Structure 1
Amino acid sequence: GVPDSGSTVRGLARLLRRNPTDAERLLWQALTRDRRFAGQFKRQTPVGRHIPDFVSFPHRIAIELVNPGEGETIAADRASRRTWLEARDYRVMEIRAADVERDLEAELVRLQRMIAETA
């Protein structure tokens, strides 16, 4: 049979989780080990038909990593994902991969501020 779109999205999410970029790996380690964020985020988990890099359902925050030199198609896809998520009351935080690798703590502080705004 033809797989339904839900199982297709879940399969893609699984594939993405298995092949993280360096920046994704660094940020995920920080989100799981730092007690400010531990247990609050999921990685490459479907939200509807979209798969943000990281999502916090309790805080309704999606984190999108922006890779260097990404093409227009990828940027347009991220923009449409952002619009869809924001229409459903998610706040979307875009983080450049280079910033994760250069100054992870500054990005975590920015995320902590965003969480504090919803508390």
Structure 2
Amino acid sequence: DAERLLWQALTRDRRFAGGFKRQTPVGRHIPDFVSFPHRIAIELVNPGEGEAIAADRASRRAWLEARDYRVLEIRAADVERDLEAELVRLAGMMEQSA
């Protein structure tokens, strides 16, 4: 399960220690993961998701970006295939906010 794998990595990897919360409200939205200090939200994109789910995610992204959050969409399959590559991408995003 991609969400579980990513959460374990975020809690164990020193680059992200204590920086992310899981399923935490940001306004009226609940991204999969959020870092308030870095203003980054992570959204997992599941294979075969329907149009309604994709539209909801797009709406959530627009709302978050309007409030100065950066949104990183990660395909679940990419987490399962190459977790480290996704963590490197996230770390790069965090460095931009430092």
TM-score category (smaller protein):
over 0.9
- In structure 2, what is the equivalent of residue 99 of structure 1? 78
2-structure distance, mates of 1:118, 1:56: 11
1:87 equivalent in alignment to 2:48: no
1-structure distance, mates of 2:31, 2:97: 19
1:27-106 → structure 2 map (5 Å cutoff): 27-106=6-85
SS in 1 for 2:15: coil
Q: Which runs of 5+ in 1 are unaligned?
A: 1-21
State the AA in 2 paired with 1:82.
Answer: R
Q: Deviations 1:83-108 (Å, cap 9, x if unpaired)? A: 00000000000000000000000000
State the AA in 2 paired with 1:28.
Answer: W
Q: Tell me: higher relative CO, structure 1 or 2? Use CA pairs within 8 A at least 6 residues apart.
A: 2
Percent identity, aligned pairs only, is 90
Deviation at residue 38 of structure 1 after TM alignment? 1.1
Q: Which has the larger Rg?
A: 1
So what's the TM-score if we normalise by structure 1?
Answer: 0.82
Q: Deviations 1:64-99 (Å, cap 9, x if unpaired)? A: 000000000000000000000000000000000000
Give the RMSD, CA atoms, in angstroms. Answer: 0.3
So what's the TM-score if we normalise by structure 2?
Answer: 0.99
